[in-house]
Amino acid sequence: MAQSSTTAPLLPGIDDTTAPRETAPTREGGLARLDGFAPRAGKSYASARNYDFGPGRHEYVSTLSPWIRHRLIAEDEVLRATLARHAPSTAEKFVQEVFWRGYFKGWLEHRPSVWQDYRSDLDDLFAALDDDAGLAEDYRAAIEGRTGIDAFDHWAQELVETGYLHNHARMWFASIWIFTLGLPWQLGADFFLRHLMDGDPASNTLSWRWVGGLHTKGKAYQARASNIAKYTDGRFHPGHALASKIEPLEDEAEHPKQSLPTADRLPDRPFLLLVTEEDCSPETWLSTAPIAGLALGATARRSPREIGQKARAFADAALGDAAARVAKHYGVSVPVASGDWTEALISAARKAGVQSIVTAYPPVGPVAEALAEAEGTLGQAGLDLCRVRRRYDDLVWPHATRGFFALKKKIPSILRDLGLSG
């Protein structure tokens, strides 16, 4: 990700979400959007994806990321639709963008302490806002779009109002936040995670670290006024308001690589299916029918602060759509519950008369945290929790241990293993 701004994969893995417009936050809506974009995933995407023409003018990017983030549609489905219409070389940029998302998820699975430290830092920083009036005012001015930097202020307001920012705008915004405004990157990452419809713990956290020079150590991303003017089609002219020189951030903590966590197999006895916002199309991977289901949301756990309306609404609708589809597909009841996860899971399992709970493997983030908190009590209640990982993740994550290049070299073989051309 250390290329120039004209060729970089632009906050990779986040890609290019846009407001839902006429498309619903459902699997059907995501598949329709994929079908509409796939013919443009080749040269058109590669040549114009860096341009942020403004709200409602994002026809050159896929706008699929909220659906992919919640796995209303899965990465292999996106790749299949793309490669059915383009040669791998023609769609190379878009194919790589899809793999960047898996790269970041796999990288964080190998280094979960990065997420843990981020969460801990946030607690300290929010406490600091209560004690430091200057920092608090600078932070409020940034998230309310009152800094006086025209582009930045527009993007701050656009994010809150629409749950969207173009991929290139996310890079500029993060760079200005860190290097011009001098604000902690963790507070900026939290602002994004609370408001983006595609807010993803891995992609968001690691992209902010990349901009700051922490992910690729010593290589930070600098927002330049000329670049912003060019790629916003002249809509913004920050002039001399931006930092002219930047120094990459330094990480005080070490984050040693850990072995990839082991996933579970489906149990050979009846089970309850748990549906979460991490995977809203379990019928595409679940080979054995559950005898009951339960859907639980974790959007509120993204941050100690209030979650944005657009992000919350998309996640809630995606989970509701998943519950309805699973109920219809398997002929079982799948209520959408809220509140304490442990209590809800025990109650649902006892009502179904099962001793096993199956869910899609949750990558590092709020869902994984909620399950980790519940697992001990579930065990005491005689319940097994099985986390089943998708084959795509099993193919991608082992290669996400260092930089993206190691995974990039494996893309042709992974495509072949998925039954796709490559």
Could you read off the pLDDT of 297-330 as tens digits, one per residue?
A: 999 999 999 999 999 999 999 999 999 999 999 9
Span 34-77, pLDDT tens digits: 999 999 999 999 999 999 988 888 788 898 999 999 999 999 99
Q: How confident is the model at residue 125 (pLDDT cuts 50, 70, 90)?
A: very high
SS3 153: helix
SS3 41: coil
**How many domains, in total, are found in the chain?**
2
Residue 266 lies in a domain: no
pLDDT higher than threshold 80 for residue 220? yes
pLDDT at res. 54? 85
Copy the structure tokens of residue 310.
């657009």
Whether residues 350 and 418 fall in one domain: no
pLDDT at res. 143? 98
pLDDT higher than threshold 50 for residue 263? yes
Instruction: Give the structural domain span for 373.
Output: 272-388
SS3 372: helix
Read off the CATH number of the domain in which 289 is found: 3.40.50.620
Provide φ and ψ at 215, rounded to 5°: -75, -50
Whether residues 224 and 104 fall in one domain: yes
Residue 111 lies in a domain: yes
pLDDT higher than threshold 60 for residue 5? no
pLDDT at res. 19? 39
Whether residues 159 and 188 fall in one domain: yes
Whether residues 6 and 125 fall in one domain: yes
Whether residues 333 and 243 fall in one domain: no
Residue 267 lies in a domain: no
Whether residues 219 and 277 fall in one domain: no
pLDDT higher than threshold 90 for residue 239? no
Whether residues 31 and 123 fall in one domain: yes
